[in-house]
Amino acid sequence: MASPQLWRVVMPGVVIASAARRALAVEPRYALEIPGGARSALAARWLGLGMVALIASGVLSILLVFSRTPGMQNLLPVADFFHVALVAHVDLSVLVWFLAMAGMVWTLNSTPRAIGVGKLGFGLAAVGTAAIALSPFFGQGRPVMANYIPVLRDPWFLIGLITFAGGVAVLVLRGMATAARVGTRLDGGDALRFGVNASLVSTAVALLAFAWSFAAVPAALDPKAYYELLFWGGGHVLQFTWTLLMLVAWLWLADASGARVPLSPRVVTLLFGIGLASVFVTPVIYLAYDVDSVEHHRLLTWLMRFGGGLAIPPVALAVAWASARCRTVTSDAKPLRAALIASIVLFGAGGLIGFLINGSNVKIPAHYHGCIVGVTIALMGLAYLLLPALGYARPSVRLATLQPYLYGGGQLLHVTGLVWSGGYGVQRKVAGGEQVLRTTQEIAGMGLMGLGGLIAIIGGVLFVFIVLQAIWRGRSA
């Protein structure tokens, strides 16, 4: 039996170790280690590509907002250009921006091997992005407003889209071959790594779905039907990629802003695994039903709606609870907290609006604008977090704290105006006189949409300015 003296010496250490284990079990740290060297430099290039896509998309969005705001569409002869600009705007602000930021995260999560392959993937993606951005001005037009990936039926745009897809395929293959391993004794970092790796797998399945649809869809179909079927399956799977990256960003931003999320790494990994398991149902749907069948169309929709949505509420509630408990936020963490709050609010609003959709009206773009902007703001917050780790200066605290609220608030007004107008039957994907705004309520709703869109544009421009300023200051230093 141990002596009382020995017990008094050992007991404090036992108590401290026990308390430390309890603290780690209740409040794990959700953060990833950031490598240096070639991986950091390549990740910075992907961030730069994302910024270029946002800048080009922002220029086009100005024309889009003006073309749909009552009274303003007459100031510029833009209505005929509306659908052409809309195609490039959507592809740049969603497809290219999201995958560029994913490329940044996947590169940081990789081992140092095959850096040359990573550079090849980036080069292809950059060339494809340039072609997509310039196609409204140099191509033949002929827009096809297909869901998920609208296209312009001209060689300039299509070659650019295929080149970009080739760059992403190289990026994904390298990412899967060199992904950082997840430890058997899971901690917060391992859980985030699993989420990042799951987003790689979902993107690989999306690319497989695109290729499968390309081989199966009859080329003789009407262009609208052809591209709708071509992008339907892979487009649905990409939503899992965006969701997984957003959840990783929420947990990482919460931790970096001082909040301790009350979810164990095993639970978080399980939630990520649910999304990943849903992705693997996609090949089964392709094998069971023809690409042009009603069952194929319906099952992919249900898969995204139910499989993709299961992991979001627990993480969102845990992050919101942890953030509410953490009342003290350091100055450098204020932009991260602002981005986190704005992202959760916008994504939640978009999800709720989805239950209000009935018919083909502007409630549909209100729904996906809310969700997409929720992902966008999360990735913006991740950019603020990673700028110093990539060798640049810290973003301006005052401006970077204001920007998510400005951008998110504008987008909230934007989607509110769309929901308001959709209740009166205003149709989607039309502009100018084609909107046929008959009542004061319809005009007011679309006017609110225009006001919110302009505020959001200011917020988007401010984000670009903040990041470019941090890059410039970092290089100057």
The pLDDT tens digits for 214-237 are: 999 998 899 999 999 999 999 999
Q: Tell me the pLDDT band of 244, cut-offs 50, 70 and 90.
A: very high
| pLDDT tens per residue, range 59-88 | 887 766 666 565 555 554 334 567 788 888
Provide the 10 A C-beta neighbour count for residue 474.
16
For residues 471 and 453, give the distance between their C-alpha atoms in angstroms, rounded to a whole number: 27
Residue type, position 398, single letter: R
pLDDT of residue 97 exceeding 80: yes
What percent of the chain shows pLDDT beyond 90? 52
Q: Are 47 and 390 in contact (CB under 8 A)?
A: yes
pLDDT at 76: 45
Residue among 458, 409, 431, 408 nearest 86 (CA) = 431
* Burial of 233 from C-beta contacts in 10 A (0-12 / 13-18 / 19+): buried
* Cα 111 to Cα 187: distance, rounded to the nearest angstrom: 19
Average pLDDT over residues 100-122: 95
CATH no., domain 329-477: 1.20.120
Pick from 339, 409, 337, 329: nearest CA to 377: 339
| Helix, strand, coil in percent for the chain, rounding step 5 | 75, 0, 25
Domain ranges of the chain: 329-477
Q: How large is the average pLDDT for residues 12-16?
A: 41
Q: What is the pTM of this model?
A: 0.86
Euclidean distance between CA atoms 351 and 346, whole angstroms: 9
- Average pLDDT for residues 39-60, to the nearest whole number? 92
Per-residue pLDDT at 105 exceeds 90? yes
Residue 361 sits at φ, ψ, to 5 deg, of: -135, -175
Map tokens 């490598």 to a residue: 35
Provide the mean pLDDT of the chain. 83
pLDDT given at position 10 = 41
CA–CA dist 71, 54 (Å, integer): 27
Instruction: Report pLDDT for 443.
Output: 64
Token pair 């990943």 is found at 276
Q: pLDDT, tens digit, for every residue of 304-347?
A: 777 667 778 899 999 999 998 888 888 899 999 999 999 999 98
